[in-house]
Amino acid sequence: MIRVRVHIQGIVQGVGFRPFVYRQAAAHSLTGWVMNTPAGVVLEAQGETPEVESFVVGLRDQAPPLAVIQALRTEGIPPAEDIGFAIRPSGGTGETVVIAPDGDVCVDCLAELFDPADRRYRYPFINCTNCGPRYSIIQGVPYDRTLTTMARFAMCPACLAEYEDPAHRRFHAQPNACPDCGPQLRLLDRRGEEVPGDPLAAAIELLQAGRILAVKGVGGYHLAVDAAHENAVAELRRRKQRDEKPFALMAPDLAALAGYAVCDAVAAKQLQGPERPIVLLPKGRPNRIASLVAPGNGYFGVMLPGTPLHHLLLRDRFGALVMTSGNLSNEPICYKDTETLSRLADIADFFLTHDREIHIRNDDSVIRVFRGQPVFLRRSRGYAPRPVTLPAAQPQVLAVGAELKGTVCLTRGDKAFVSQHLGDLKNIATLDSMEETIRHLESILKIRPQVVAHDLHPDLLSTAYAENRAGLPSMEVQHHHAHLASCMAENSLEGEAIGVIFDGTGYGPDGTVWGGEFLVGGYQRFERWGHLLPMPLPGGDAAVREPWRMALAWLHRLYGEKLVDLSLACPAEVASSDRRLILQMLEKRINTPLTSSCGRLFDAVASLLGLRQKVSYEGQAAIELEALAETSQDVEVCPFDLSEVDGRTVLDFGDMLRIMAEEVGKNLPKAPLARRFHNTLAAAATAVCEKIRAARGLDRVVLSGGVFQNRLLSEELCARLEKKGFQVFTQRLVPPNDGGLALGQAIIAGRSELCV
Ligand code: ZN
Ligand code: ZN
Ligand code: FE
């Protein structure tokens, strides 16, 4: 007979952990108790030695699906007297409670959902302690029904009995409900009038008939149409004014998905996790998905049903539904019922909605798989607000990111809580969403920041927020330094590392636009060791929307006035008056700010290859260039030039662009050139890292910035660096794009003098 005390930290509260412990203890005939404390779950268990030992192993191995165990410590203590195994009331206040993200319906609830004998048969709000909404319905802490949007639903006797039974899967399941006592589904037309009859059956019929429905999900509304219905998809595109940006798909299950996308075991695991992200999967050919779902793109973004309602909508009815965020372009996803009706009335024909309110909006997460691990393109529903563990505890800070792909980050001890995706902070609606999210996270996590960190760019809405936040000092952080720190932090690195930071746009302290940077540094300082050759950006931001302008800037540099003689897609496809105007700008250096951006280098090459002269969404040219390169096995590397300017290494790809221009002029296949561009960029970056290692003795390289959403470049660069003996670190917990910036800002602020 032995007795142990076990301390467990992580996401172990509000996820059915105590009932799980109770059932495990019963299965091993143990006595003792379990309770929630501010420091996590504490339990004592007593019984036969082998039973106690296998009980402890099971705590980790068989933990409930939504639990994340970060630390489990066991100590032997003297046996004591117990009456059975008890779940004790919580001790202390919830200062260190970690709120669980929203999760999909679990296998047990799913079985009940489709069991005609079950009292929750086809009930869209079925859940238990292992599944269901969390973050999106929580209004305050402690996590208790009265502080969720379920407070207005009084449990019926049957639900209450489950809720109070420690042996039941619904013990203290705060959103517990049934058709008799819980939320109800409704179908509304666009005037807000209720459509009579069974809302679910009617919604399915409408979708089959090609109508556009707004469907209320976990963190907001989706716009749904049948993905096989060409006209419906075209109409949705027209009404949403979204020219080419891909629409996400929802598949009923993996079998249906195999009919149109290529899904390996790693991707399948990600798709099936409780987080239910959108996963980018190569398109399968041929397939029945409407061509306008993801035009000009080699991938479909696919997710599996994320709520019981989605299962009910899709099962046996559709091969896939388009499920795109319910918003107007550039605005955050709609989540409030009344506001949604008015804002989406010109897009949706009908609204499939219900009366369980969403307290905080939370858009879908998007990932792709790289080396068997997810890479976040957007980290949101299912992951937020799960914390990233920092290498060390630090004072509490708030970081507000930059502009694109906004997220905020709050720290407490060694935990950094990165918010859900907020969208591009370019309008008041998105700024409001950011302020709301900051208030919400500060309240439920009980964090009072000492400092607000923000981007160095003076004109951003996030910068204005930080500088105007009453009573708190603000701290500016250079954009690419934040990228470097973000990648170091999630990999628990201390000291200094080499940062290869490739992205689109970031404000440089010298007044130019940075974005192809080789940094050396850590959390407290950094230096710009090298960068891509600064090139004129004709027309500033307009060049971001029109890649041909960057191509022209390169051709102008390489050929001067002779460039008009070249037979290239880039000058040819563009009106000659536009071309002349840009050439004049380049000649006279008017409105041509300099940029070392790597994203703009992708643009120039995509334009030169005749791939794309204008883009309708950020990163489009680079995405299409990567897709083309993936079809080639070319291993050649073009020459590149490294020179010293003002004590910094400048990387010049002029020779490569000249070769590209000449090859394209000969009308040779373009895929090998696209591939060669990736090879050359990787080889050149490796060469710069070797120079830095020779000078500084550093052999750890971190890769960050939006360009590393590119799988092919990441793979090429990692492989080349590793071959040269570097240790390479990439972002796996937060996005490499600006969605991960706030994490870097937060640790830089936390380690700064402002916080000492
Ligand atoms: Zn469940
Ligand atoms: Zn009930
Ligand atoms: Fe960036």
The full set of domain ranges for the chain reads: 2-87, 99-183, 198-354, 535-678
Ligand nearest to the CA of 15: 1
**The domains spanning 2-87 and 99-183 adopt the same CATH topology:** no
- Phi, psi at residue 665, to the nearest 5°? -60, -25
Going by the DSSP 8-state scheme, the letter that residue 138 receives in this structure is B
Q: How far is the CA of 540 from the centre of ligand 3 (A)?
A: 17
Q: How far is the CA of 180 from the centre of ligand 2 (A)?
A: 5
Ligand nearest to the CA of 735: 3
Ligand nearest to the CA of 162: 2
Q: What residues does the ion ligand 2 have nearby, CB within 5 Å?
A: 156, 159, 178, 180-181
**Under CATH, to which class is 198-354 assigned?**
alpha beta
pTM for the structure as a whole:
0.92
Q: How far is the CA of 179 from the centre of ligand 2 (A)?
A: 6
707, 606 contact by CB (below 8 A): no
Q: How far is the CA of 16 from the centre of ligand 1 (A)?
A: 10
To the nearest whole percent, how much of the chain has pLDDT over 70? 98
Distance of alpha carbon 381 from alpha carbon 358, whole angstroms? 13
Helix, strand, coil percent values for the chain (each to nearest 5): 35, 25, 40
Average pLDDT over residues 50-65: 93
The highest-confidence range among 163-177, 281-295, 320-334, 490-504, by mean pLDDT, is: 490-504
Within a 10 A sphere around the Cβ of 576, how many other Cβ atoms?
10
Q: Give the residue from 734, 78, 611 showing the smallest Cα distance to 296.
A: 611
Question: Looking at per-residue confidence, does 483 or 240 come out higher?
Answer: 483
pLDDT in tens, 718-737: 999 999 999 999 999 999 99
The per-residue pLDDT of the chain, averaged, comes to 93
Ligand nearest to the CA of 156: 2
Strand pairing category for 366-370 and 278-282:
parallel
Q: How far is the CA of 129 from the centre of ligand 2 (A)?
A: 15
Q: Where are the alpha helices (DSSP H) in 165-229?
A: 199-208
Strand pairing category for 451-455 and 397-399:
parallel
Q: How far is the CA of 444 from the centre of ligand 2 (A)?
A: 27
Q: How far is the CA of 159 from the centre of ligand 1 (A)?
A: 14
> Is domain 535-678 in CATH 1.10.10.60, yes or no?
no
- DSSP for 682-751, please give it: HHHHHHHHHHHHHHH---EEEEESGGGG-HHHHHHHHHHHHHTT-EEE--SSS-SSGGGHHHHHHHHHHT
731, 387 contact by CB (below 8 A): no
Q: How far is the CA of 480 from the centre of ligand 3 (A)?
A: 7
pLDDT in tens, 208-263: 999 999 999 999 999 999 999 999 999 999 999 877 899 999 999 999 999 999 99
pLDDT in tens, 692-706: 999 999 999 999 999
Distance of alpha carbon 270 from alpha carbon 280, whole angstroms? 11
Ligand nearest to the CA of 108: 1
pLDDT at 686 over 80: yes
Amino acid 560: pLDDT:
85
pLDDT in tens, 338-390: 899 999 999 999 999 999 999 999 999 999 998 888 899 999 999 999 899 99
64: confidence class by pLDDT, cuts 50, 70, 90: confident
> Is domain 99-183 in CATH 3.90.870.30, yes or no?
yes
Amino acid 244: pLDDT:
85
Ligand nearest to the CA of 176: 2
pLDDT at 185 over 90: yes
Distance of alpha carbon 199 from alpha carbon 352, whole angstroms? 7
Average pLDDT over residues 389-416: 95
pLDDT at 482 over 70: yes
Q: How far is the CA of 175 from the centre of ligand 2 (A)?
A: 11
* Cα 671 to the center of its chain, rounded Å: 30
Distance of alpha carbon 351 from alpha carbon 216, whole angstroms? 8
pLDDT at 202 over 60: yes
96: confidence class by pLDDT, cuts 50, 70, 90: low
Average pLDDT over residues 664-670: 86
Give domain 2-87's CATH number out of 1.20.1260.10, 3.90.180.10, 1.10.3210.10, 3.30.70.100: 3.30.70.100
Q: How far is the CA of 644 from the centre of ligand 3 (A)?
A: 25
Q: How far is the CA of 359 from the centre of ligand 1 (A)?
A: 21
pLDDT in tens, 591-626: 999 999 999 999 999 999 999 999 988 889 999 999
Amino acid 569: pLDDT:
56
Average pLDDT over residues 158-165: 95
Q: How far is the CA of 349 from the centre of ligand 3 (A)?
A: 38
